[in-house]
Amino acid sequence: MNTFLKPVDRIINTSNSGSFLLLFATVMALIAANSPWGYLYHDLLKSEVTFGFVEKGFELTEPFYLWINDGLMAIFFFHVGLEIKREILDGELSSIRKASLPVIAALGGVLVPIIIYINSISNPDLVRGWGVPMATDIAFSLGILQLFGKKVPIGLKVFLTAFAIVDDLAAVIVIAVFYATDIQLTLVLYAGIILAFMVFLGLKKYFSKFIFFPLSVVVWILFLKSGIHPTIAGVLLALTIPATRRTTLDMFFENIKASLQSFVKEKEHVRSHQILKIEQVHAAVDIRIASEKINSPLQKIEHDLRPWIVFFIMPVFAFANAGVTLTSSTVVDFGLVLPIAIALIGGKFIGITLASWLAVKLKIAYLPKGVNFKYIIGVAFLGGLGFTMSLFIANLAFLDPVLLSSAKIGVILGSFVSGILGYVILRILISKKKSITVS
């Protein structure tokens, strides 16, 4: 596979496994919330947890679900920031030709759902939820697409990955600009000074985890107390990570060759003994160090963090946020449920398809190799899988428990229908393609 597609391929393959775990966590949350022991589920999420040094007067006390939404999700957004930076520097967003179609498609998929939502609500108090249906869940959408394996063009997978990342960037901007409250500029200024120092270190191609991570915690706390959601700190911190190698490719090859000579000279010893000679131990360490240096800090952190994001943070977030109690006495505002669901299903479909069609017809962009507009329609419905980011924005938009529960129901309903429609359309297209090939 082409070198520049390998990061996309890793995202796709990881998302396939992670999407099933995310679905499992969602189902478990719904079961837990609606079981006879549902009160234990809600009590756990509301229980207060304290971190800090109580005896020294510094402590942070938050409900458990806020440690997940403000803390773990800051790491999630940090990873999103790393992905965005990598794609802009050396990926599907690194040139106008590559980026034009996914960027335009993403903008259509953001704007049209917002327009549909605003025009569908009758209660002015619900306007604040306009950001809920604008997001695409990259794990779920790519996971469904991956179910078809090699039957769908790789260009379609790259297109979905790229526009989902642009979609994430739009969501980050919306959260930072429109969902910040009671901003304390002094704390923002302090955080900005620290970030500026970290940017300076990055420009000097210097990175040390012993400096970066303590400063990151300070920046996160400052954002938490400033009124700007602390997850934005995660994105900004990601942008400070250097994307340059700490060694040249030629130097890497020389170091590897020199280290391997130790094994070549004594290969019979290596074959017949479990214990390496001390020279070979040193050579193995040198190979590990050389391998770490050829990777930029940005790529290394993104690679190391991905399993934690996909297999821990996202499922935990889903379990903590998808547990909506549905009983005969549950109050549901269908004036909020339906606009969100319709905006996700119809808005994403219309926005992504129409924007892509206009971009191609006006020759601003070009369809990926092997991809036609019928495939774009299927992927456009998959774009309506808002889930993770939509649930996150819903938590910021609605404080009223009834409205928040209704928003979550709308997100789950809209995402479920969008996923089914996208899967069915792509399944039909693949079946027709197969039958034509056979005949």
- The pLDDT tens digits for 300-311 are 899 899 989 989
Average pLDDT of the segment spanning 251-264: 78
**Residue 137 dihedral angles phi and psi, to the nearest 5°:** -90, 110
What is the per-residue pLDDT across 360-387, written as a single tens digit (0 to 9) for each? 999 999 998 888 899 999 999 999 999 9
Neighbours of 37 (CB within 10 A): 9
The band of 438, judged by pLDDT with boundaries at 50, 70 and 90, is very low
pLDDT at residue 218 is higher than 70: yes
Question: pLDDT at position 181, please?
Answer: 80
pLDDT at residue 13 is higher than 70: no
Distance (Å, rounded) from C-alpha 187 to C-alpha 361? 48
Q: Which residues are within 8 A (CB) of 155 and not within 5 positions of it... i.e. 6 or more apart?
A: 367, 368, 369, 370, 371
Nearest by Cα to 152 from 398, 376, 314? 376
Question: pLDDT at position 221, please?
Answer: 93
The band of 1, judged by pLDDT with boundaries at 50, 70 and 90, is very low
pLDDT at residue 184 is higher than 90: yes
Question: pLDDT at position 138, please?
Answer: 85
pLDDT at residue 257 is higher than 90: no
pLDDT at residue 101 is higher than 80: yes
The band of 74, judged by pLDDT with boundaries at 50, 70 and 90, is very high
Average pLDDT, the chain: 87
Q: Using alpha carbons, list the distances in angstroms from residue 82 to 53, 112, 239.
A: 31, 27, 7
What is the per-residue pLDDT across 394-412, written as a single tens digit (0 to 9) for each? 999 999 999 999 999 999 9
Average pLDDT of the segment spanning 137-158: 86
**Residue 399 dihedral angles phi and psi, to the nearest 5°:** -95, -25
The band of 290, judged by pLDDT with boundaries at 50, 70 and 90, is confident
In this structure, is the dihedral angle defined by the CA atoms of residues 215, 220, 221 and 222, taken in order, positive or negative?
A: positive
pTM score, whole prediction: 0.85
Q: Which residues are within 8 A (CB) of 336 and not within 5 positions of it... i.e. 6 or more apart?
A: 121, 123, 126, 129, 403, 406, 407, 410
Q: What is the largest CA-CA distance in the chain?
A: 79
pLDDT at residue 4 is higher than 50: no
pLDDT at residue 269 is higher than 70: no
Average pLDDT of the segment spanning 290-297: 80
Distance (Å, rounded) from C-alpha 166 to C-alpha 102? 7
Average pLDDT of the segment spanning 184-206: 94
Amino acid at 351: G
